[in-house]
Structure 1
Amino acid sequence: MTQTVLVTDDDLEIRDVIRIYLQNEGYRVHEAENGAQALELIGREAVDLIILDVMMPVMDGIKACFKIREMTSAPIIMLSAKSEDIDKITGLTTGADDYVAKPFNPLELIARVRAQLRRQTLAAVSGGKGTDKSVIEIEGLIIDKKRHLVTARGKEISLTPLEFSILELMASHRGQVFNIQKIYQSVWKEDKFLSDNTVMVHIRNIREKIEDNPREPQYIKTVWGVGYKIE
């Protein structure tokens, strides 16, 4: 089944380059010039992944990402001419799954697209399989793996697909310490580890959502110098 990618960027040349590479990989491609057009298209078309530029007229990528997350859990890859950590953190905090700084190598972007779609497909296929309990309960935190639903102290928590996968990974292996590289390889399904703080940002986002006090987390514990675990 052909997968559909939405490319959102106000630069026609960039859209053309990305479209050509995606089509060469066999993907169906939709295009939008700004966040407002992207939202309109997502409202009427099924989209498997969104590539979203940060700086755009009418509606920028940050605002669009917030609204897209209310409509679909499809992976979002943010593009930005800025490579500072604060821009990366902002993009990931809004619900994006990955971040690529401009100028970028189109082949690397395509590799990121493949990785995100592969991870999503594997999650869908394995959702109801295996002998693991489909519902994990940890002191007021309930993770329903089949329904991709999380509640904390009776309140439903909205997590992005990657946030859910990270939480599920650690909750399914209570007591095991995961370093950042292991989390990246297990969740992103990529052997190549990117030397950035992507995983740390996702962990911080999860804590903000599920913890009463993220500075003194009850669930996701930091093992200093090693990684993270759920006891």
Structure 2
Amino acid sequence: MLSPKTILIVEDEPTSLEAMGGYFEVEGYRVIRAENSDEMERALARHKIDLMVLDLRLPGKDGLTLLRELRSHSDLPVIVVSARTDDIDHIVALEIGADDYLDKPVNLRELLVRVRNVLWRCERRAPEEATAQPTRIGFEGWVLDTGARRLFAADGGDVRLTRGEFELLVYLIRRAGQVLERDQLLDCLSSREWQPYDRSVDVLIGRLRSKIEKTPKDPRLIVTVHGVGYVFLGSLHRAEAP
């Protein structure tokens, strides 16, 4: 029998925390509860967490700060929930590395579906990653190591990619010269549930450009095809590790 998935819920409002926690426990998940950053960090250190639900408004460090710190060393799937309804908060959370975003008050059934989709997509990608032949792909001075999931600059410096950035860059590179629509690119991301008008691809493209383009506002590697999507135009070659 498979062990239940473990979800960490970080929420400072006791009623919301218990509502979400109790709902997921009834659905068969193991739930770890945290009300602030200290409790969250202890939970991450003590338990194997499969997914985190993170509120933005927390005492001490807020959710965006915690997410930024987490993404410096972990690709743990994170769904942000927040009473902040401004579009800028959605965009910033996705730019930092959130896998999904839900406004409060949260519909628990919708949250459950999103959690299931994120976990399912991560599980679906895991066997492919385990059996994929590691390669090192060079382009315009960069080296992408698909086995180690690392990107190296011309000087050998290691540029960290989030899971979504890595998956998107590999997908674009392996289809270099081919114009790809946004829904195609969304489908390659293990942690995203496809939604109409989803801006996740645009956010990830912006993040990749800031890391690999000499002039991100005038990109030469990942080029926009207006009304369609994106195309990778870098010159590729086999490469050795830096």
Q: Which TM-score applies when normalising by structure 2?
A: 0.86
Over the aligned positions, Cα root-mean-square deviation in angstroms equals 2.0
| Alignment match, 2:43 | 41
Q: Offset at 1:49?
A: 1.1
Q: Offset at 1:212?
A: 2.1
> Where does structure 1 differ by over 4 angstroms across 4 or more consecutive aligned residues?
188-192
SS, match of residue 127 in structure 1: helix
Deviation readout 1:68-120 (Å, 9 max, x if unpaired): 22342111111111222210111122222221111222121112212222222
Q: Offset at 1:219?
A: 1.9
| Alignment match, 1:135 | 136
Distance in 2, Cα, partners of 1:155 & 1:211: 15
SS, match of residue 198 in structure 2: coil
| Alignment match, 2:200 | 198
SS, match of residue 77 in structure 1: strand
Unaligned runs of 5+ in 2: 234-242
Distance in 1, Cα, partners of 2:164 & 2:228: 21
Q: Offset at 1:64?
A: 0.8
- Identify the structure with bigger relative contact order (alpha carbons < 8 Å, sequence gap 6+): 2
Distance in 1, Cα, partners of 2:114 & 2:136: 30
Task: Please identify, of 57-66 and 94-103, the stretch whose mean Cα deviation from structure 2 is larger.
Answer: 94-103
Q: Tell me, yes or no, if the aligned pair for 2:168 and 2:189 is still in contact at 8 Å.
A: yes
| Alignment match, 2:237 | none
SS, match of residue 150 in structure 1: strand
Q: Tell me, yes or no, if the aligned pair for 1:81 and 1:101 is still in contact at 8 Å.
A: yes
Aligned residue identity for 2:6: T
Unaligned runs of 5+ in 1: none
Q: Which TM-score applies when normalising by structure 1?
A: 0.90
Q: Offset at 1:123?
A: 2.5
Distance in 2, Cα, partners of 1:198 & 1:111: 18
Q: Tell me, yes or no, if the aligned pair for 1:136 and 1:144 is still in contact at 8 Å.
A: yes
Identity score, percent:
33
> Residues 142-153 of structure 1 correspond to what in structure 2 (within 5 A)?
142-153=143-154
**How many residues get paired?**
230
| Alignment match, 2:90 | 88
Distance in 2, Cα, partners of 1:30 & 1:185: 30
Aligned residue identity for 2:214: D
Distance in 2, Cα, partners of 1:230 & 1:141: 14
Deviation readout 1:177-206 (Å, 9 max, x if unpaired): 122222112324777523232221121112
